[in-house]
Amino acid sequence: MVSLALIVSFLFATFSCPFLEAANYSNGSTLQAASLNVIDACWRRNPNWATNRQALASCAVGFGKAALGGKSGPIYVVTSPADDAKSPKPGTLRFAVTQPKPLWITFAKDMVIVLQTELQIKSHKTIDGRGAKVEIANGPCVAVYHATNVIIHGISIHDCKAGRSGGKGWEGDAIRIFQSTHVWIDHCSLSRCNDGLIDVIHTSTAVTLSNNLLTQHLKAMLLGHSDKNVGDKKMKVTVVFNVFGPGLRGRMPRVRHGYAHVANNRYEKWGLYAIGGSANPIIFSEGNYFVAPERADHKQVTKRFGAGSNSWKWGTAKDAFMNGAVFGPAGQAVTPMYVGGEAFQVAQGSLVPSLTSSAGALRCTVGRVC
């Protein structure tokens, strides 16, 4: 759960800025300005979002902006939380994500899905939890495996277990992105898993991780499988509008190779460090809100693993440092590495409590603003 202090700071955050906007609606609903970062503003104002769910695919920013998910396919409604890994049944989530054609997957009702084996999502799929409370928990969890164009939005994934799938071992990540491109993970709540909450590994690239709430876990987010896996040099990941909340120790994220743009995230008193790196990553921290823990020896935002860090490129701009937080830059100046439509405007770090106030899975009601 988010701490009371965090909630209070959201409620009293400043709203007078170009990145935030209040809205009133003819049906009497009001969406508070605190929710409207650029991704949320793209769809949450519309009380009729459920009549054109695929419009969400146009709302991503950063390196995963081109992830279309199942936009070109029909809507498929999951009606049962059951799981049969060997022979998936129609109406279940596993049946939907393993179909060869594009699908936009929704849920008929609230459900808790306990998977038998890791759920490997095929290309051109969207998992859209809006309108229902959907949890994947207490068993194996989710993998985007050798896939492209995948969107996962609006679900809770927690208490994931380690085990085996197809004769191969897996470690119990909430979401594992493996040799995949054009992936967008948005508005998910992630906590208490056996290994990582989100791992982006083995040459995956063009990924955006946004509006997620990560809590109660040691290893939050890993970008890159190992220091020896040099294929990850091509990796480009945007980490934006997330809340790294209570109970996290580190890896917010940890970057091994490639480029990570870490922008407009909220960090709430990490256990050991916030942003870490090894091998030779490029990390640009821009407009984040860092609240350091009370321990005097853990005020440092960054942590370097391994030798040769003097040649790395770690930069900071627009960040807000609270409670004594300190960022240790390295090497030459770092700037965004976007091309064309991937670029987006990053707010000052002081505005992040408002921009991230709705992080995590939303409780949306059909016919009303979300």
> Does 253 sit behind a cis peptide bond, omega within 30 degrees of 0 on the bond before it?
yes
The Cα angle at residue 8 between residues 6 and 10, in degrees rounded to 5: 70
Alpha-carbon gap, residue 233 to 121, rounded angstroms: 24
118 and 142 in contact (C-beta within 8 Å)? yes
The span from the CA of 342 to the CA of 27, in Å, is 34
Q: Could you give the angle at the alpha carbon of 11 between the alpha carbons of 28 and 292, nearest 5°?
A: 150
Question: 30: which 2 tokens?
Answer: 């009001």
- What are the b/e assignments for 48-57, b being 16+ CB within 10 Å? ebbeebbebb
What's the length of the chain?
370
Phi, psi of 10 (to 5 degrees): -65, -45
Other CB atoms closer than 10 Å to residue 202's CB: what's the count? 19
Tokens, residue 184: 């967008």
Query: Do residues 266 and 289 touch, judged by C-beta distance below 8 A?
Result: yes
Q: How far apart are CA 224 and CA 246, in angstroms?
A: 24
> Bridge partners of 168?
165
How would you list the strands of the sheet with 266-268, edge to edge? 111-113, 134-137, 156-158, 189-191, 213-215, 243-244, 266-268, 289-291, 320-322
DSSP string across 278-294 = -SS-EEEEES-EEE--S
Active site amino acids: 251
Tokens encoding 76: 């498929």
Q: What angle do CA 47, 49, 55 make, to 5 degrees?
A: 145
